[in-house]
Amino acid sequence: HPWWQAFERLGDRLVRAGAVVQGRLTVQELLGRLNVFPLSRDALPGQSADRARIAELTADFRLLGLDGLQQAKPSNLAALSSAHGTGSDLTAAMLHSRSLQYELLPKTGKLLSALSAEHSSFVLESVDGALQQELSQKMSSPLPLALLRYRYLRVSADSLPFKGGQLTESAGAKPALLFEDAVYSQGLRFDFYRWSQDSEPAVSLQLSGGYPALQLYLSSEAVFDVRSKSCYVPLILNDSQGQGSSVYFVRLKLSEDFPEPDKWPRSADFEAGSAELSQSIFAQPGY
């Protein structure tokens, strides 16, 4: 990785210039700002980064050359520090941590790129009854199938009201399209009806917080299919008429090159990266 070698050469020069502590604090500040949903899968969705914040983080990440598309320059580093009031930013010089170089930062850069894509979107499709049953049995606590109780489903979001509904179980071999929207859409809602002619849903599920599609994608009970690069996500429905809980699986496909759920960064990764970076800096010769 020639660009990382350039970082290390720049780092050696700046460390000798006495910039160690300043760079450490700047890196830790950046890692702290990156530790937010959806960049961190277990950060609170209610405190997620909106589109403007993702754009700001992406710009800062690229300004430092951390995406590998440009080399870090002292003028770029100073510009970032000026924007955030942290003094002369020498972040790139401090990246001697191997876990940061080859794991956390590349993953984060990939996520930022996918989230920043102009047409980043998701698609929800129905899942046939046989596969619904199979997926339910694999859950930690299997539940009855919702499609046996509710025959009709409408999906909507704040930005895109529903355009007609679908049967909960597709009549044909091909899965039915339930919904598609931008990945940053808010207020994703599922309304289940016992019959298609009913005026009011029998049960509803609405996801609050930012990036509801990614909340589904990162659900602990979701099953990722490597071959199709899609997720089978369980929607847990609590019936208000005393029938108890049931489950309805949907197939979720993301448009951009997002990582698999189990390879997504966690809050602990950002915290460990900050701690490791601090240790690696103070271990540098000449400090």
Both 82 and 168 in a single domain? no
51 and 100 within one domain: yes
Where is pLDDT greater, at 12 or 31? 31
Assigned domain for 195 exists: yes
pLDDT value, residue 250: 97
- Under the banding of pLDDT at 50, 70 and 90, the label for residue 24 is very low
Average pLDDT of span 224-235:
94
Flag whether pLDDT at 7 surpasses 90: no
Question: Does any domain span residue 251?
Answer: yes
Residues 17 and 30 in one domain: yes
pLDDT, tens only, 25-82 = 466 778 889 999 999 999 988 889 999 999 999 988 887 667 763 344 444 444 444 5
Q: Tell whether 7 and 107 lie within a shared domain.
A: yes
In-domain check, residue 64: yes
Which of the pair, 65 or 171, is modelled with greater confidence? 65
Would you place residue 286 in the very low, low, confident or very high pLDDT band (cuts 50, 70, 90)?
Answer: very low
Higher pLDDT, 150 or 257: 150
Give the pLDDT confidence score for residue 162 in this predicted structure: 64
What total number of domains does the chain contain? 2
Please report which confidence band the pLDDT of residue 174 belongs to, taking 50, 70 and 90 as the band edges: confident
Give one DSSP letter per residue of 163-195, joined into a string.
SS-EESS-SSSSPPEEEEEETT----EEEEESS
Residues 92, 217: one domain?
Answer: no
| 169 and 79 within one domain | no
- Report helix, strand or coil for 255: coil
**Residue 110 maps to a domain:** yes
Give pLDDT, residue 80: 46
Q: d(Cα 43, Cα 46) in Å, to the nearest integer?
A: 9
State the pLDDT at residue 239: 85
Strands (E), the chain: 121-125, 152-156, 166-167, 177-182, 189-193, 203-206, 223-225, 230-239, 244-254
Helix (H, G, I), strand (E, B) or coil at 144: coil
What pLDDT was estimated at residue 66? 72
Q: What is the pLDDT of residue 206?
A: 94
CB atoms within 10 A of CB 206: 12
State the pLDDT at residue 77. 43
pLDDT at 201 over 50: yes
Asked whether residue 129 falls in the same domain as residue 239, the answer is: yes
Q: Using pLDDT thresholds of 50, 70 and 90, give the confidence band for residue 181.
A: very high
Domain co-membership, 243 together with 270: no
Are 88 and 81 a contacting pair, CB within 8 Å?
A: yes
Would you give the end-to-end CA distance of the chain in angstroms? 26
Are residues 138 and 240 both part of a single domain? yes
pLDDT of residue 8: 63
Q: Is residue 287 part of a domain?
A: no
Q: In the structure, what pLDDT confidence band is assigned to residue 247 with cuts at 50, 70 and 90?
A: very high
In a domain? residue 24: yes
What confidence score (pLDDT) does residue 275 get?
79
Please check whether residue 96 lies inside any domain of the structure.
yes
User: Which residues, in sequence order, are CB contacts of 172 under 8 Å at separation 6+?
Assistant: none
Q: For residue 128, what is the domain's CATH number?
A: 2.60.40
- Tell me what pLDDT residue 246 has: 96
Same domain, 102 and 189: no
pLDDT band, very low/low/confident/very high, at 99 (cuts 50, 70, 90): low
| Residue 93 placed within a domain | yes
This prediction has a pTM of: 0.78
Q: Which domain holds residue 94?
A: 2-117+264-282
Same domain for 139 and 47: no
Residue 145 scores a pLDDT above 90: yes
* Judgement on whether residues 125 and 204 belong to the same structural domain of the protein: yes
pLDDT tens readout for residues 203-217: 999 998 889 999 999
